[in-house]
Amino acid sequence: MIQFDEKIYFYLLFIIPVIIILFVLLLIWKKRIQKKFANYELLKRLTPNRSQNKATFKVIIFLLALTALIVGLVNPKIGTKLETVKREGVDIVFAVDVSKSMLAEDIAPNRIEKAKRLVSEIINQLASDRIGIIAYAGQAFPQLPITTDYGAAKMFLQSMNTDMLSSQGTAINEAIELATTFYDDEEQTNRVLFIISDGEDHSEGTTLSAVEDAVEEGIQIYTIGVGKSKGAPIPLKRNGILESLKKDSQGEVVITKLNEKVLVDISDEGNGKYIDGSNTDEAVEIIKEELLQMDKKEFEAKQFAEYKDQFQWFLGAGLLLLFLDVFILDRKTKWLKKLNLFNEKQID
């Protein structure tokens, strides 16, 4: 198996056809100039030791050297052995609240950004666990299916905002119901759901019922609270500039508060734990300890090749060809005359 480190250097290969075209044009120009002074047969008699084909030979060697040097820059790697890698971990799904209440700035810079940072920091602490992401407001939406690609997870996480779902409100029950469909390994004994929210819930009547169903599926539910219990208004901004504060139907400014009771009830019913997300480091440390105590399941075994650099061979070949190109002259040499590589007849 072969892989390349710096594929961008392959674009340098476009230089080769340019050199070929320039060389052909140069030959055409030379022949035209030579015709002005003497015909072809006379010129051969005047310069009997000048090879007609070695110039082309030199260009071919130079192009081969250039190709080898470019491939060396790309740094091809060849697989030398196969190893089996066993991964052990738990399946984790993050349900992130993206309702408008998450715009409140009672926790810096605001609740939604705090929630995203918490999830990102938790991902940084993971080793081989699988993760999935759900966004929810008035309804739940799958943001990323269960995967081991942490880079993709962070990319999707950063794109989440309070405008991504048209239906507003906070339906925690739908997030929990959707999360139960994420766990695709029936043998996985440890399934974890983290709900990151300010605790506002417009479906309280059905949320605990959804939690019970999730527990029956073997899912542990942890809740992480973002916000302050004293509450804060919801700023409505355009291009980062405050335009107004969200108001209710009576024209009063809406004050959104962290509802810890809802989150505690969910975590208690879900055999998990409620975690205060105010201090990111402390929250992440608690979660890290919780995950370490869980039994890990071997859920993936991959074979991969250990690759070794091969650039040195191409660089060596390129430098050797350049060295040969320098010492090959345009005139005929005695040993080449004997070999007659270019099928050139000697002129008496």
Which distant-in-sequence residues (6+ apart) come within 8 Å of 32 by Cβ? Answer: none
Band of the pLDDT at 347, cuts 50, 70, 90? very low
pLDDT digits (tens, 9 = 90+) for 304-332: 566 778 888 889 998 998 888 777 765 55
Q: What pTM value is reported for the model?
A: 0.64
**76-89 and 297-309 beta bridge pairing:** antiparallel
Homologous superfamily assigned to 86-300: von Willebrand factor, type A domain (3.40.50.410)
Query: Is the pLDDT at 283 greater than 90, yes or no?
Result: yes
76 versus 42: the higher-pLDDT residue is 76
- Cis geometry, peptide bond prior to residue 142 (ω within 30 degrees of 0): no
Write down the pLDDT at residue 148.
86
Which distant-in-sequence residues (6+ apart) come within 8 Å of 127 by Cβ? Answer: 89
Residue 275's Cβ-count burial label (10 Å; 0-12, 13-18, 19+) is buried
**235-238 and 76-89 beta bridge pairing:** unpaired
pLDDT digits (tens, 9 = 90+) for 244-280: 999 988 889 999 999 999 999 999 999 999 999 999 9
Amino acid found at 290:
E
Name the token pair of 5. 């480190």
Provide DSSP, 101-153. GGG--SSSS-HHHHHHHHHHHHHHH-SS-EEEEEEESSSEEEEEEEES-HHHH
Q: In what order do the strands lie in the sheet with 219-225?
A: 140-147, 130-136, 91-97, 191-197, 219-225, 274-276
Band of the pLDDT at 88, cuts 50, 70, 90? confident
Q: What spatial distance separates the first Cα and last Cα of the chain, rounded to whole Å?
A: 56
Closest CA to 110 of 282, 236, 267, 273: 236
Write down the pLDDT at residue 348.
45
The kind and range of the H/E element at 218 are none
Mean pLDDT, rounded, for 157-174: 87
**191-197 and 91-97 beta bridge pairing:** parallel
Give me the residues paired with residue 306 across strands: 81
Closest CA to 103 of 13, 9, 238, 205: 238
Residues of the chain with CATH 3.40.50.410: 86-300
Closest CA to 147 of 122, 120, 182, 188: 182
User: Computed from CA positions of residues 194, 197, 203, 208, in that sequence, does the dihedral angle turn out positive or negative?
Assistant: positive
